Amino acid sequence: MIVKMKFLSITGPKDDIERMAAQYLSRYEIQLENALTELKTVRDLRAYTDKNPYEEIIRQAKEYLPAELKTEKEFPDMTAEQAEIILKKAEEQLTELKEQRTELSEQKDAAVKSLESIEPFLGLGFDVHRLLEFRYVKYRFGRISKEYFDKFERYVYDTLDTIFYTCSSDEEYVWGVYFVPNSMADQIDAVYASMHFEHIFLPDEYEGTPRQAQQALEKRISELDAQLSSLDQKITGVIAEHTDELAGAMRFLEKRSASFDIRKCAALTKEKDNVFYILCGWMPEKQADAFQKEIEDDKQTFVVVEDDHNNIFSTPPTKLKNPKIFRPFEMYVKMYGLPAYNEMDPTIFVALTYAFIFGAMFGDVGQGLVLLLGGLFLYKKKGMDLAAIIASAGVFSTFFGFMYGSFFGFEDTVIHHIWLQPKEAMMTLPVIGQMNTVFVVAVVFGMFLILTAMVMHIIVCIRNHDAEGTWFDTNGVAGFLFYGFLVACLILFMSGHALPAAIILVIILGLPLLAMAFKEPLGAWLEKKKADLEDGVPMYLVQTFFEMFEVLLSFFSNTLSFVRIGAFAVSHAAMMEVVLMLAGFTNGGSGNWLIIVLGNAFVCAMEGLIVGIQVLRLEYYELFSRFYKGTGHAFHPYE
């Protein structure tokens, strides 16, 4: 069901808005609307433009406090000043420690980078620092791909005045250092560059060979890690020592900040020398009544309730409230679209029809119990709405399993059917002849659901004072009478009873059909307006003819669509019969139980998924399309 909403205008002295929000709005659900928009017919209103004083300190605190900081301890006497002092003091302690940590982290990163650059040249047994003392020879450390290095060695190396010392190599690159005379450095550098030699700069702050430099760097990194660990312990200690106070201060200021932020939705007005705030929003009816009662003795806060929604610019939000057993099916409703405030919540209708139809299409005691127990387990473990829906479908699958006498595919063997066996039950119909009973029952059940959807459409139209939709729509009274009488005649004929006289058939079927055909002019007549036929009467008649043809065709196709209920009931039995044949349980065979288990698992998974989708299709296309639009927007309360 859809929770009834009330539109409230809350007002009071400008400086009292924060107290009011903290004392009242924090305990009630209210969706705030922009007061300037809602009260645009009121003069002398202006926006509330004060800056939030808590934003900056909260932002800074989040930089040095862990995101998961929480406490169960309450601080009822805490003030904003006390909260700020607690956070400022922690910031002074932690900022200094974190700055030290940042500096050490940068030093470690630099050391690691240097280590990575040195490692490929560990094969060089020469003091790197002494290379700086060379006066007539230049050197370059770097790497070259193996492909170009092979070409370099084969075709170029012997023709140049250079020495290339290989330090290490892998599958892709050769690392090393080359030496050239100063006078030829530019020319030979160009040759190496043409061979895609990548220059690598080694750190020169370390004495000795690359191996010695590596050891020095590893020692430095180890020392930095120890210092970082020590600082982390100090930071953790500061936070652990004041966890409750810090978490309490953050929680307090965040609530104050949220309370302050409601000013974005407020408008200000001036009365003589006094400035007042105005807040507007939607609140559930019961909470609105409790809120009004609570503020009766509050001389600073005043509330006006607007009962006529036609005087309000915003549309009421939708909040669903259904019994817990039906609540998971809200997922399917929201997938289609949340109901508008003036619509009917179809959750309970979907819950009952979806689970029932699923069971009829997938009737098996054993597999139904698997769905039931599996769904319940996942719902308890993960809280998944889909799992609860599967469990509900499993209940009806089990029920219809008893009706069909099916237990893990064994028909009338383990249990005897109470109603019929889908694959074998047949009945004789006039004109048609022999037909499977479940097909007939499925179509009759579909007719009943279509008529129910029409009744729901009529109720919604009456709520919205839509005369045309109530009386003349294809899903209104005219459509209900036409389709209902057609269904009654069909049942009478198929059951061998006499039909009403031809004149009665013409009148009862013809009048609703004419009403549906001319619903626009008839609706305008009811509302005492002039019918708007833009393209003229002839074009309207032609258009109406094709529209009525489409309506009759849709009645026929929508009704036949429910044959799939019986078709899947029969196909389920047929698929399980194939599993039994493969397992060797037919013709008195002993059978293979492994195939039975695997076959049941396959059918349960595959057909269960297909049936679930097909039932959802019936809900959306054959039923929802008749009475439901799903154009609502969700209720988002201020927090």
DSSP characters over 128-179: GGGGGG-SSEEEEEEEEEHHHHHHIIIIIGGGSS-EEEEEEE-SSEEEEEEE
Domain 126-208 CATH assignment equals 3.40.109.10: no
Write down the pLDDT at residue 506. Answer: 82
121 Cβ contact list (under 8 Å, min separation 6)? 141, 167, 168, 175, 176, 177, 202, 210
89 Cβ contact list (under 8 Å, min separation 6)? none
DSSP character string of 526-582:
HTT-----TTHHHHHHHHHHHHHHHHHHHHHHHHHTTHHHHHHHHHHHHHHHHHHHH
CA max distance for the chain: 122
Cα separation, 426 vs 224, whole angstroms:
85
Whole-prediction pTM: 0.72
Q: What separation, in Å, do the N-terminal and C-terminal C-alpha atoms of the chain show?
A: 24
Write down the pLDDT at residue 100. Answer: 84
Cα separation, 432 vs 428, whole angstroms:
8
- Inter-residue contact 517 to 544 (CB < 8 Å): yes
The residue among 45, 41, 52, 63 whose CA lies nearest residue 18 is 52
CA distances (Å), 388 to each of 151, 259, 395, in order? 69, 37, 11
- pLDDT per position as a tens digit, 387-424: 999 999 999 999 999 999 999 988 888 899 999 999 88
Cα atoms in the 13 Å half-sphere on the side-chain side of 495: 11
Neighbours of 80 (CB within 10 A): 15
CA distances (Å), 229 to each of 96, 281, 330, in order? 16, 52, 51
φ, ψ of residue 326 in degrees (nearest 5): -95, -10
Q: Where are the chain's structural domains?
A: 126-208, 327-627
Q: Report residue 531 as tokens.
A: 């019918």
- Inter-residue contact 582 to 590 (CB < 8 Å): no
Instruction: Report helix angle 502-517 to 519-526, nearest 10.
Output: 80
Write down the pLDDT at residue 54. Answer: 83
Cross-strand partners of 145: 173
Q: Enumerate the H helices of 16-130 as residue ranges.
A: 17-23, 35-38, 55-64, 80-118
Q: Enumerate the H helices of 269-364 as residue ranges.
A: 285-294, 330-336, 347-361
- Which residue's structure tokens are 């009973």? 437
Residue type present at position 418: I
The residue among 484, 458, 459 whose CA lies nearest residue 471 is 458
Element (H, E) at 502: helix 502-517
- Inter-residue contact 30 to 252 (CB < 8 Å): no
Cα separation, 459 vs 476, whole angstroms:
9
Cα separation, 218 vs 205, whole angstroms:
14
User: For the chain, what's the residue count?
Assistant: 639
Ranges under pLDDT 50 in the chain: none
Sign of CA dihedral 38, 39, 41, 46: negative
Cα separation, 185 vs 178, whole angstroms:
11
Write down the pLDDT at residue 309. Answer: 66
Cα separation, 419 vs 397, whole angstroms:
14
- Inter-residue contact 97 to 142 (CB < 8 Å): no
CA distances (Å), 321 to each of 324, 332, 419, 600, in order? 9, 15, 37, 38
- Inter-residue contact 458 to 470 (CB < 8 Å): yes
The residue among 13, 79, 84, 78 whose CA lies nearest residue 48 is 13
Q: Is 320 left (phi over 0), alpha (psi -120 to 50) or beta?
A: beta
